[in-house]
Amino acid sequence: MKKREYKADFRFYEELNDFLPPEKRKQTCVFEFNGHPGIKDPIEAQRVPHTEVDLIVVNGKSVGFEYQLQHGDRVAVYPVFESLDISPIVRLREKPLRRPAFVLDVHLGKLARMLRLLGFDIKYENDFDDPEIVQISLTENRIILTRDRRVFYAKEVTHGYWVRSTDALQQVEEVLNRFDLHASVQPFHRCTACNGRIQPVPKQSILHRLQPKTIRYFNDFFQCVSCDRIYWKGSHFQKLQKKLQREFKIETSTH
């Protein structure tokens, strides 16, 4: 194997350390290389997806992904600052996606349902493959949420997040914190089955679809504009209310 010609010092900050092997976390490490690669390649060679990076500082100056790594460079790499404006230094994408719309991979079905419950625009199918997820992200301006880091190595991807936890409730908290979304929560405004919007519907127009006890005890109904699924504030709704209040301190209502 040909000996590497050059060396540069790299330091990754905050949650970017999650991608590194334990012995390289939270410290400066030497990266050996040949030629003068664009800096995105050395970053990803160290297992850090480019979608997780929003600021690169080389020798004290911010640079873009097109910067060519030089021998002796000192490189500091920082995670995405979704809730902090870091201009006028060089951001690595035009702007954060402040429209909270997401596409999720096949490993995140429970998270998809929970985020829809909180009112977020979620695209999810249990048979999406990586190329489909990337295409949806690009054409519909959706942030990719995934448990598979390999999807981020597609150069076209600009916005994405690798979900660390395997527990659905912890995943929700992760996403809310990561993208600063607590103020954007609107519980019970989307259909958990299809992602469609939920709107009030007159009781008389759906009587033929209701059970006798439901007709007797409930008067306020809601319907998904996409799949026509009907919702009302029964015992299941009350359980979900208590769960959201307990787990996320979220006060809930429908419309």
Name the average pLDDT for the chain.
88
The torsion of the CA quartet 217, 219, 225, 229, rounded to 10 degrees, works out to 10
Cβ 157 vs Cβ 105: under 8 Å? no
| Sequence-ordered alpha helix ranges (H) in the chain | 40-45, 109-117, 130-140, 168-178, 212-217, 235-248
Q: Where do the structural domains in the chain lie, given as residue ranges? A: 6-79, 101-184, 198-248
What's the token pair of residue 222? 């809601």
The mean pLDDT value for 93-113 works out to: 81
pLDDT category, 89, cuts 50, 70, 90? Answer: low
What is the homologous superfamily of the domain 6-79 according to CATH? Beta-grasp domain (3.10.20.30)
Q: What's the pLDDT tens digit per position in 32-81?
A: 999 999 999 999 999 999 989 989 999 999 999 999 999 999 999 998 76
Number of Cβ atoms within 10 Å of the Cβ of 148? 15
pLDDT category, 235, cuts 50, 70, 90? Answer: confident
For the domain made up of 101-184, give the CATH fold. Rossmann fold (3.40.50)
Number of Cβ atoms within 10 Å of the Cβ of 70? 13
Number of Cβ atoms within 10 Å of the Cβ of 111? 26
Q: What's the pLDDT tens digit per position in 117-166?
A: 999 999 999 999 999 999 999 999 899 999 998 898 888 888 899 999 99
